[in-house]
Structure formats: C-alpha cells, structure tokens
C-alpha cells in the first residue's frame, strides 16, 4: 500500500512554498516509520520534476569563518537574482538530539533575505556530523526551485567524505597559516577539494593569507591530476568574508568548473554515481534497521553475542551463523 503524502505538499513545494519545504524537510528528518514512508513517496513524486541546483559542499575547521563566509557569499548570489538554500549540519545535543549552534542566529542578514532559505540540521550522531537525510533535503530544495544549495559541515573527521558524495563542487575554507600548519591538513581532504579558499585575507592577516594561498597552490600541484578537472584545477584563492572581497572571483571559478564538467559529461556521470551510492547506502541502512527492530533477530544477536563474549564461539563463526539466520 502506497503511503499517503500530506495533501498538496508536493504541489506546494514545486510552487516554491517555503513553509511546505520546511515541513517536507522535517518529514524526511523524522525517524518514525509512517513519516519515512510519506517522505519516500514524496521524494519519488518530486523526482520527476527534473529540477537541478548547483550543489556546493563547504567545509573547514571550526573558527575559520564558515558562517560569515556563507552569509556574505549567499548575499552576493541573491543580489544576482539567484535563489540560495543553505543546509547547515550542526552538532547535535546528546540529550535532546537537537541542533546546538543555530545557524539562523549566525546568519541574520541572509535569513531575512526572501531569496534565501536556511535550515540548520542536527547531525543526530551520524558519522562525521552529516545528517543521514541531508541528501534528501537537497533534493527537496532543488524541487522547490533553488538555484544553489550550500551544504555546510561541522568540519570534523569524515564529514567531508560524505558531503563529497552529494555535491557537484567541494570547497575547503581555510584560515591564514604558516607552512608548518599546512602539513596538518589531511591529504585526503586536499584530494577531494575542487577549490581552497583562504578566508580572512584582510587587515594584518592579508600577507599571511596570501602566503598561505601560495603554499596551498604549490601543494595542489603535487597531487595527481583528476579526470574531472580542467587545466588549473583544483586551485587556491584568497577571500575576505568581512570585506566581501574575492567572492565574485570564487563564484566565477565555481561556475567555470561546473560548466566544464557539464560540457565534458563529468557532471551527469558524477550525479549518476552519487545516486547509485545513496541507493546502496539506503539498502544497507534498511538491513541494519532490520537487525535493530526485529525482536527475533535482536534475540538471536544477543544469543550469539553472548557466545562470542564468553569465548564459546569465534566472531567470524557467530557472524556466519547470524547471516545464515537472515537468509532463512
């Protein structure tokens, strides 16, 4: 039996109704079974709309000025007539599960802009601080007619890897630093970045920022060339969110890279690979949910777990027995 979608919700989202979009995102973030069924049906109905936004992932360590940059960058884009959605993945409270940082309070000007939509999203303890349903929220924002979707992560651990699997461009925001600090940047993150923006290139920090840009540019040249990059990418650029300097240049480079990837087929190929990745992730999550929710399976897991803990069975043998139970 197909789940009943709340009345007119899909039509209102396609008509760019912000209240309907907020309600739909709440629906996809819910863990209740009936809400998940409704969310799945809604996303399936909206998939046929064929609307696309430019998805940009933005990461960086705490204190680098991500919120200040996103607000300045978002205001510049809305000033050009573009509609911008910001999905900011916040750390979750371990008590309530709610969002801690509250991005609407950190992006006051942008939150008042009629062409902008900001949605803080608690990470709910999922790996790397990226909410499991963020990719579904991105799809809803695209269906609502947004031109650019910015996904901000908390910049801890493996969140960058997960964000890279749901965006078209991955931007790393860095602060001015010395050469020694450059060595602390993980090679894996450098290899994922399409653009490194060194923020705070203003005032007394400007000379240090320009040196840092040069350091990162040199480091990027040492990396193996990726097939999805034209000549000169990935690259490092200086920006100042406070002075709103370098933002136009950064946007120009993002558009140029996205356009090149569209023309060469990399853009659509990447989107297709991402869709397959998340399909497989949903299947895995569904199998894990069965392990958590089925009383008989949980009882068998406890029984075999006790046998392993007490040394009566090897972990591999117990796992094989558990998988055999699931197949029957």
pLDDT score of 97: 43
pLDDT score of 130: 55
d(CA 123, CA 88) in angstroms, rounded, equals 10
pLDDT score of 246: 95
Angle formed by the axes of helices 295-309 and 315-327, to 10°? 160
Sign, Cα dihedral of 174, 177, 182, 186: negative
d(CA 164, CA 190) in angstroms, rounded, equals 12
Q: Give the burial string for 51-78 (b: 16+ CB within 10 Å, else e).
A: bebbbbbbbbeeebbbbbbbbbbbbbbb
Give the position of tokens 């803990």. 309
Give the position of tokens 């978002």. 74
Reported as a single tens digit per residue, the pLDDT across 253-292 is 999 999 999 999 999 999 999 989 888 888 888 888 778 8
pLDDT score of 178: 52
C-beta neighbour count of 149 within 10 angstroms: 26
With left for phi above 0 and alpha for psi between -120 and 50, is residue 47 left, alpha or beta?
alpha
pLDDT in tens, the chain (328 residues): 456 777 799 999 999 999 999 999 999 888 788 888 899 899 998 987 888 999 999 988 778 888 899 999 999 999 999 999 999 875 544 344 444 444 445 788 999 999 999 988 655 544 433 556 888 999 999 999 999 999 988 665 556 677 888 899 999 998 887 554 555 555 667 778 899 999 999 999 999 999 999 988 988 888 888 899 999 899 999 999 999 999 999 999 999 999 999 999 999 999 999 989 888 888 888 888 778 888 888 899 999 999 999 999 999 999 999 888 877 6
pLDDT score of 168: 95
Tell me: cis bond preceding 234? Omega within 30 of 0 counts: yes
């Amino acid at each position: 039996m197909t789940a009943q979608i709340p009345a007119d919700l899909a039509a209102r989202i396609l008509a760019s109704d912000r209240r309907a979009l907020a309600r739909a995102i709440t629906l996809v973030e819910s863990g209740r079974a009936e809400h998940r069924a409704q969310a799945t049906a809604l996303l399936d109905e909206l998939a046929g709309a064929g609307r696309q936004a430019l998805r940009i992932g933005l990461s960086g360590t705490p204190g680098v000025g991500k919120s200040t940059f996103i607000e300045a960058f978002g205001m510049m884009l809305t000033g050009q007539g573009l509609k911008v959605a910001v999905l900011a993945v916040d750390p979750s409270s371990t008590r309530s599960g709610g969002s801690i940082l509250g991005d609407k309070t950190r992006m006051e000007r942008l939150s008042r802009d009629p062409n902008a939509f900001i949605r803080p999203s608690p990470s709910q303890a999922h790996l790397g601080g990226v909410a499991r349903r963020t990719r579904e929220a991105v799809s809803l924002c695209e269906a609502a007619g947004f031109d650019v979707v910015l996904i901000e992560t908390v910049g801890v651990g493996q969140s960058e890897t997960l964000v890279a699997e749901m965006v078209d461009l991955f931007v790393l925001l860095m602060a001015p630093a010395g050469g020694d600090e450059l060595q602390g940047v993980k090679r894996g993150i450098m290899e994922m970045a399409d653009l490194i923006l060194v923020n705070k290139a203003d005032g007394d920090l400007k000379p240090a920022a320009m040196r840092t840009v040069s350091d990162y540019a040199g480091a990027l040249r040492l990396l193996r060339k990726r097939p999805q990059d034209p000549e000169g990418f990935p690259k490092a650029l200086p920006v100042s969110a406070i002075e709103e300097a370098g933002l136009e240049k950064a946007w120009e480079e993002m558009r140029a890279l996205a356009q090149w990837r569209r023309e060469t087929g990399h853009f659509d190929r990447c989107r297709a690979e991402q869709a397959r990745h998340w399909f497989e992730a949903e299947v895995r999550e569904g199998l894990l949910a069965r392990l958590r929710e089925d009383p008989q399976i949980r009882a068998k897991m406890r029984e075999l777990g006790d046998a392993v803990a007490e040394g009566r069975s090897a972990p591999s043998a117990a796992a094989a027995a558990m998988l055999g139970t699931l197949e029957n």
